[in-house]
Chain A
């Protein structure tokens, strides 16, 4: 496994820079931007290879993985589910009442399923995991790297980076799955009440919303969201280097990069679903 290379320092602009040096700076900036994305892709690919190789799940690594998975998922699972339940109840109520007032109540449930389960919950789960787990985890990794602890490890990617990425993905998928189930149950209860008699109709409606294309897009979206929120902060912590005392600048850059990726995924999924 390669040692983590330090990125090339960009040339410091001289005082009284000419227009030519401005162009050079812009070019350098573009190159640095491209190099940053390249590193994200390259290191991300390395970590994914590690994540799918069975040797990463040996007895020594398994404990590390278990620790990160538990730490990333367990503390936020309950809170996020509660938050999601509350949002579901509120949104369901709003949609049902509005649809009823327009005489379109037959479309209310479909709308709720589409808005909540297909769009809001995967995005919410990914953002929640990013803010509560993976960003903190990546900051911890960056600290370790600054202190030189990472360099002392035999396999820093396999021992520290990969477990955090897997834990982030795991947390994101678990949260999304649990919240979707809770939202579906609560939407059913909010619309029909405590009865089982409307279950066939609800199942049928659910089946109509989740046609194969939508299901595929939903699964892929959730997967890529989890990948983005788990991978990008960790990669940034491993690579991005900032001048001393400007660590936050690098973190912000990583955050911005992650949000761009999430936005792209969401846009692609919307295009796939509704065009």
Chain B
């Protein structure tokens, strides 16, 4: 057999070869196209500039992850290495057309989320600053959402322990609840709220007894009051008699008033007598003055007589 299989009758040779060539070209186009797309997607055709971010800890950072600016990916981590000083150097490739967003004043943060995803973010406050040069080295700020978790857990544990102590049988709340339980038991008991207020049952019983006594006392008081009412306000009670006495007093008072009026008249007369006496007293003053002047005149007369009289004593000192 010169030919291995019966292919001649199946398809014409040139058509078969053309088909095979078509398939080959198709396959090559697919493979090469895919390879080109992978290279393009990996950024192999972009001109880039390097940015080195220095971090204390590069945990969560992987090669190929994005660096974002305002949520848009503008760069890609191409390498992570350990610097001689023990810090992590994260080398980011930034395409030149995206590098315009990075300025010398830009700030870079490395943020770890709760579910473990890590983001590198760039912030440019002043876009008018000079652009970031190629190969720039910047410190990266860490904002770690999970860093607070241990502290939070410790605090939460303390809180739970406190709550546990509080609500435990030994705790204040537990004791209070036990007291409340006892209280409600007492409330439900025969002495009720009184027992709660007074502390023990004996006191409560005493109070109850007192109340009963008070009740009977009140009943007796009531009877007493009825009797008093009859005695005071009854037909032969104190009050009607008092009223009669008052009427009599009124009459007495009227008489007293007329007596007083008469006394009043007597007083007016006495007043008139007084006035007369006063006038008389005034006249007496004049009389006295006149008597006094008369007396002085008499005296001066006596004096004159004495001087003129011979047996008058020689009173003058005669000078030699």
A interface residues with partner B (beta carbon < 8 Å): 62-67, 69-70, 73-74, 149, 152-153, 156, 159-160, 170, 173-174, 177-178, 180-181, 201, 203-204, 206-208, 210-212, 215
Contact = CB atoms under 8 A, between A and B. Distances in A.
A69 B20 contact: yes
Nearest to A208: B64
Interface string B30-58: 11011001101111000000000000000
Size band of the interface chain B makes with A: 20 to 34
Contacts, number: 87
A73 B23 contact: yes
Contacts of A62: 17
Nearest to B43: A207
B233 interface: no
Contacts of B83: none
B4 A64 contact: yes
Contacts of B16: 63, 66-67, 70
Main secondary structure of the interface of B (DSSP, over half): helix
A127 B211 CA distance: 102
A170 B19 CA distance: 14
A160 B40 CA distance: 41
14 contacts: A63-B13, A63-B16, A65-B20, A74-B19, A153-B1, A156-B4, A173-B27, A177-B27, A178-B30, A203-B41, A206-B41, A207-B38, A211-B63, A211-B64
A177 B31 contact: yes
B196 interface: no
Contacts of A210: 38, 41-42
Given A65-B20, A70-B16, A170 B41 contact: no
B10 interface: yes
Interface string B152-188: 0000000000000000000000000000000000000
Given A63-B7, A181-B30, 18 more contacts: A63-B13, A65-B20, A67-B7, A67-B10, A67-B20, A70-B19, A70-B23, A73-B23, A74-B19, A170-B24, A170-B27, A173-B27, A173-B31, A207-B38, A207-B42, A208-B66, A210-B38, A215-B38
A73 B16 CA distance: 13
A234 to B, nearest CB: 14
Contacts of A212: 42
B96 interface: no
A69 B23 contact: yes
Contact of B23 (A153, A170, A204): A170
A210 B38 CA distance: 7
Contacts of A73: 23
Nearest to A203: B41
Contacts of A206: 37-38, 41
Nearest to A156: B4
B73 interface: yes
A204 B21 CA distance: 34
B286 interface: no
Contacts of B258: none
A159 B42 contact: no
Contacts of A177: 27, 30-31, 34
A101 to B, nearest CB: 16
Given A64-B5, A66-B19, A67-B10, A203 B40 contact: yes
B4 A153 contact: yes
Contacts of A156: 4
Query: Which 10 A-B pairs rank lowest in CB-CB distance, beginning with the nearest?
Result: A207-B41, A66-B20, A177-B30, A174-B27, A159-B4, A206-B41, A207-B42, A203-B41, A69-B20, A67-B7
A74 B23 contact: yes
A87 to B, nearest CB: 19
Interface string B137-159: 00000000000000000000000
A185 to B, nearest CB: 11
Contacts of B27: 170, 173-174, 177
Contacts of B7: 63-64, 67
A160 B5 CA distance: 8
Residue among A73, A204, A207 with the highest chain B CB neighbour number at 10 A: A207
B3 to A, nearest CB: 8
A156 B4 CA distance: 8
A211 B62 CA distance: 11
B65 interface: yes
Given A159-B4, A174-B30, A177-B34, A69 B41 contact: no
A174 B23 contact: yes
B4 to A, nearest CB: 4
A210 B26 CA distance: 23
A254 B31 CA distance: 30
